[in-house]
Chains A and B, each alone.
Chain A
C-alpha cells in the first residue's frame, strides 16, 4: 500500500474576517502528481503556504510520510525535504544560475572559498538528470522566464527536496513552455518525486495530474482520480454549479477604423523601449486581442494609449484625431475608456464611496457638479443607483458603500460600469478577469461582447489565452514590444498564437503547427 507523502488533517486558518481554510483535508500519495484546484480565494495558496511554513495553521495536524510534524518556517519545510516554486521567482538577476542555486548554502573548499566549480558540476548533473537543459553559468538576466522557472526547480532539487509544490507555475509561460514544463513534471515523477500542482487550469490537470483535490471557499470538496473525471466535472466541483466556458456571440461586423496605432515606440520603466515599432488597428464593432506573455510591452502599450506614458515615436489616432500627445483628460473626453490591469492601484480609490468612484472621470461635468464648482451629491448617488442596477453591482450600502468593502468581482464591475458609462468609442480592457470568480468572469465576458455588438471598438489585453480566444475577433500576438502577427478568430488556435508569442512570425507559426501537429496528438 502506498504511503501518504503528505497528510494534512482538519487544517483551519483564519484571517481577519475570513476563514481561509476550514477543516481542510489534503492527502498526497508518494510519487504522484497531485493537483490542487480551486478558484481565486478558495484557499489553495493558504493551504500550501501552511505546508511550506509561511503561515501556521490555527488548528489541524500535518503528517509527512506518516510522521506528525510542526512546520514553523520555510527552513523547517526544507529540512523535511519540501520545496516550493513560487509564482513570483526569487532570483538575483545579476547572479549566475549556480550562484542563485547555492545562495545561502554555499559549499566551501578547504581554503574556505566557495567551491563554485564543484557546485556547477552538481547543478549540471541535476539539470541533465531531470532534462532541464539549464546552463549553470548563464546569468539570470539573460535567460527566459521559462528557464528562470527551471532554475527555481533546480534550487529546490539542489536542496534534496522530494516533495515539490508548484504555485500556478504556468501563469507566466507561453503555451510551448507550458508543454515543456508538464514534461518536466512527468520526468520528476518518474524520478520518484512527489508533486503538488496548484492551479485553476483544468486542461493542465487533465494532462499531467494523477489525482486532484478541489477546494471551494476555504472548504474541502473532494479528491478525485483525474483519469475518471472530465473537465466539466472538475469545473463543477470547483465552482459549485455547471459552467459554460464558451461564450455565444454573433459574427462581428467591423465598422469604421477607431484606433490606429502606427509604428509606436514607448520607453518603459527601465529606460529601454518596451514597445518597439508596434502597429495595430481596431475597428468599431470588433474585439481585438493582444496576446502575449507578461512583460512584452502590453502595460506600456496601454499606458501610451491612455496617455499615462509619453510616446517616443509613432502615432496614435482615435478616429481621425491624432491623440499621440494629448493629455489624459482630453483622451478620456475624446472617447477612450480604460479598464486598467490593477483595479486597486489604478482603477479605484478604495477609500472613496462607490458613487464617488463611479464619477471619478466625470465629476467635472453636469449634473455631478455645477458651473460654480460645487458637487451635487444627489445626482451622484442617483447615477450610482442606475449603474448598480444596470451592471448588477452588489454593494451592501448602495451608493454609499466604501469601495474597499466590496468583493473583487463587484469592484471590477464598478470599474467596467464607469468606463462603459462614459460611452467611449474605444474600450481598452486589460486583464479584466484576473482574480475573479467564475460568475464574475462570465458576466464580464458577456458584457464585453455586448459592447462590441453595440458598435464599440474593444482592445483586450490578457495573459489568459483562453480569454483571448474566447472573446476576440482578431488576435495580435506580441513579443518584445512588437506585433508578431495578427490572426482572425477563425484561423487562430492556441498553438499558432503560442508560437507567435514566443517570437515566431505568423507564417512560420503556421508551418510549425503543421509539422508538430502529429507529434502532439493526445
Chain B
C-alpha cells in the first residue's frame, strides 16, 4: 500500500516536472547550483563563500562583516537589464519559430545609434535621451527586419543571416564611431549629460550604483512582450506561425509579414539593451574593442526562461546575479569561473529536458505493464 502510493507520488512529481516548463527551469537551476557547489568543494574551497557572495548581490548584506550596502543590488540590476532585453529579443523570435542569434549585432546597432544621437542630438533634457533610445529602437528594428525580409522573401536562413550581420554591425560600428571628431581607438568625447539615463532617484536608493532609468524601460519591455505575445491579434498570429507555420498559412495568416514583424520587434529589444548600456553605464561613446556578449548570453537567458516574458525576466536576473557575483567570489577565494560553469550547467541541463521526458515515458510504460498484470 505505502509502496503503491509512493509510486504514484513519484509519478505525480515526474508528471508535474515534465508538464510544466517553468518547474523544469527551476529544478534545472537548482541542479546547476548543486553541481557548482560540489565543484567548489572539490577544489578545496568553502561553498559557503559562494552563497555569501550571492547573498550580498541579492540583498546587499555582507555576511562576513555584517555591513549592508544597497549598491550591490543596484549593480546586479544594471547587469541584468541588457541580459533580460537580449533574452526577450531571442524569446520573441523563438515564439514565432525563428532562431535569432543576431541579438549581439542588433545590440551593437542600437548602441551605436544611441551613441550618435547622444553626441549629435539636441541637448534638451529628457527629449535628448528619448530621441537616442528611439533611434536605437529604429536601428535595431531595421537590422532585425532585414533578416526577416531575407527569410520571408528569399528563404535565407535567419541563423546564417543574423550571424553574418553580427560582424557587419560590429565592424561598421567601430568604423563609424572612429570617424567622430575627437574619437580615438577606444572612445569618443563625453556625451552631454542630457543624453544620459542617469537617475538620481535610483542612485539614491542604491547608494550611488550605476542603476538608471533603463530599469523602467526594461520593465516596460517585459510588459510589452507579455501583452503583445499573449493577448493581442499580432501575438496570436505570431504564435500560430511559430508553432505550425503551415496551419497558420492555411488559416489565412500572412506568415511572411509575421516573420518580418517578429524579427523587427526582436531586433528592437536587443537594440534597447545597447542603448541602455551606452547611455546608462557609460558617459562617452565606445569604439567597441570586442563584442559585449549580452546578445549571446540572451540565447541562454531565453532558453532558461522558456521564451516567456516573466520567465525571461527572472532568468535574466539570475544570469545577472551570477555575473555580478564574480568579483565578490574572487574576494572570498572562490574561483570566479565557477559562475560561468553554473551558467553552462544550467543550459546543459535545460537541454536535457527531452531526456526527462523519455524517463517519464519509460515510467508510463512500466505502469501500463504493471496495471495489466494486476488486472
- Seen from chain A, the residues whose Cβ lies within 8 Å of a Cβ on chain B are 12, 14-17, 19, 22, 58, 306, 308, 327-329, 331-332, 338, 340, 345-352, 356, 360-361, 363-364, 369, 373-375, 377
Give A327 to B249 CA distance when docked, in angstroms: 11
Whether the Cβ atoms of B251 and A360 lie closer than 8 Å is: yes
**Cβ-closest chain B residue relative to A328:** B252
Interfacial chain A residues near B252, Cβ < 8 Å:
327-329, 331-332, 361
Distance in angstroms from B17 CB to nearest chain A CB is: 16
Whether the Cβ atoms of A361 and B251 lie closer than 8 Å is: yes
A-B CB contact pairs (8 Å), 22 listed: A14-B365, A14-B369, A16-B364, A17-B368, A19-B368, A22-B372, A328-B252, A329-B254, A346-B247, A346-B250, A347-B247, A348-B244, A349-B243, A349-B248, A352-B243, A360-B248, A364-B233, A369-B232, A373-B232, A373-B233, A373-B234, A375-B232
Give A332 to B251 CA distance when docked, in angstroms: 8
Find A308's partner among B233, B236, B240, B249 (CB 8 Å cutoff). B249
**Cβ-closest chain A residue relative to B369:** A14
Give A338 to B234 CA distance when docked, in angstroms: 23
**Cβ-closest chain A residue relative to B362:** A16
Contact string, B350-368, partner A, CB cutoff 8 A, digits 1/0?
Answer: 0000000000010011001
* With A360-B251, A361-B252 as contacts: A350 and B244 at CB distance below 8 Å: yes
Distance in angstroms from A432 CB to nearest chain B CB is: 15
| Interface flag for B231 (CB, 8 Å) | yes
**Cβ-closest chain B residue relative to A22:** B372
| Interface flag for B292 (CB, 8 Å) | no
Interfacial chain A residues near B337, Cβ < 8 Å:
none
Distance in angstroms from B261 CB to nearest chain A CB is: 13
Interfacial chain A residues near B249, Cβ < 8 Å:
308, 328
Find A347's partner among B236, B243, B250, B369 (CB 8 Å cutoff). B250
Distance in angstroms from B251 CB to nearest chain A CB is: 4
Whether the Cβ atoms of B368 and A14 lie closer than 8 Å is: yes
> By DSSP majority rule, is chain A's interface helix, strand, loop, or mixed?
mixed
**Cβ-closest chain A residue relative to B234:** A373
Interfacial chain B residues near A14, Cβ < 8 Å:
365, 368-369
Whether the Cβ atoms of A363 and B248 lie closer than 8 Å is: no
> By DSSP majority rule, is chain B's interface helix, strand, loop, or mixed?
helix
Interfacial chain A residues near B253, Cβ < 8 Å:
329
Give A375 to B235 CA distance when docked, in angstroms: 9
Give A410 to B135 CA distance when docked, in angstroms: 50
Give A15 to B362 CA distance when docked, in angstroms: 9
Whether the Cβ atoms of A375 and B247 lie closer than 8 Å is: no
Whether the Cβ atoms of B244 and A349 lie closer than 8 Å is: yes
Interfacial chain B residues near A375, Cβ < 8 Å:
231-233, 235-236
Give A58 to B252 CA distance when docked, in angstroms: 46
Give A308 to B255 CA distance when docked, in angstroms: 12
Give A282 to B361 CA distance when docked, in angstroms: 49
Whether the Cβ atoms of A338 and B247 lie closer than 8 Å is: no
Distance in angstroms from B262 CB to nearest chain A CB is: 15
- Seen from chain B, the residues whose Cβ lies within 8 Å of a Cβ on chain A are 231-237, 239-240, 243-244, 246-254, 361, 364-365, 368-369, 372
Interfacial chain A residues near B231, Cβ < 8 Å:
374-375, 377
* With A349-B243, A352-B243 as contacts: A363 and B233 at CB distance below 8 Å: yes
Whether the Cβ atoms of B372 and A19 lie closer than 8 Å is: yes
Give A364 to B369 CA distance when docked, in angstroms: 48
Find B250's partner among A328, A350, A356 (CB 8 Å cutoff). A328
Interfacial chain A residues near B248, Cβ < 8 Å:
349, 360
Give A153 to B179 CA distance when docked, in angstroms: 75
Give A432 to B234 CA distance when docked, in angstroms: 31
Interfacial chain B residues near A306, Cβ < 8 Å:
250
Give A375 to B227 CA distance when docked, in angstroms: 10
**Cβ-closest chain B residue relative to A338:** B250
Whether the Cβ atoms of A16 and B365 lie closer than 8 Å is: yes
Give A15 to B365 CA distance when docked, in angstroms: 7
Whether the Cβ atoms of A350 and B243 lie closer than 8 Å is: yes
Give A338 to B250 CA distance when docked, in angstroms: 9
Give A350 to B239 CA distance when docked, in angstroms: 12
Give A361 to B247 CA distance when docked, in angstroms: 10
Distance in angstroms from A69 CB to nearest chain B CB is: 23
Whether the Cβ atoms of B254 and A360 lie closer than 8 Å is: no
Find A349's partner among B234, B247, B364, B372 (CB 8 Å cutoff). B247
**Cβ-closest chain A residue relative to B240:** A349
* Residue from B234, B250, B368 with most neighbouring chain A CB atoms (10 Å): B250
Whether the Cβ atoms of A345 and B246 lie closer than 8 Å is: yes
Whether the Cβ atoms of A360 and B372 lie closer than 8 Å is: no
Distance in angstroms from B363 CB to nearest chain A CB is: 9
Give A327 to B250 CA distance when docked, in angstroms: 11
Whether the Cβ atoms of B232 and A374 lie closer than 8 Å is: yes
Whether the Cβ atoms of A340 and B250 lie closer than 8 Å is: yes
Interfacial chain B residues near A374, Cβ < 8 Å:
231-233
Distance in angstroms from A14 CB to nearest chain B CB is: 5
* With A349-B243, A360-B247 as contacts: A16 and B361 at CB distance below 8 Å: yes
Distance in angstroms from A331 CB to nearest chain B CB is: 8
Interfacial chain B residues near A308, Cβ < 8 Å:
249-250
Interfacial chain A residues near B237, Cβ < 8 Å:
363
Give A351 to B240 CA distance when docked, in angstroms: 9
Interfacial chain B residues near A349, Cβ < 8 Å:
240, 243-244, 247-248
* With A17-B364, A374-B232 as contacts: A352 and B246 at CB distance below 8 Å: no
Distance in angstroms from A224 CB to nearest chain B CB is: 26
Give A352 to B240 CA distance when docked, in angstroms: 8
Give A16 to B234 CA distance when docked, in angstroms: 36
Find A351's partner among B233, B234, B243 (CB 8 Å cutoff). B243
* With A329-B254, A364-B233, A373-B233 as contacts: A348 and B361 at CB distance below 8 Å: no
Distance in angstroms from B235 CB to nearest chain A CB is: 8
Give A374 to B228 CA distance when docked, in angstroms: 8
Across the A-B interface, the 10 shortest Cβ-Cβ residue pairs: A329-B252, A16-B361, A360-B251, A349-B244, A351-B243, A328-B252, A361-B251, A332-B252, A346-B250, A373-B233
Give A363 to B251 CA distance when docked, in angstroms: 10
Interfacial chain A residues near B240, Cβ < 8 Å:
349, 352, 356, 360
Distance in angstroms from B207 CB to nearest chain A CB is: 41
Distance in angstroms from B277 CB to nearest chain A CB is: 31
* Residue from A58, A328, A329, A349 with most neighbouring chain B CB atoms (10 Å): A349
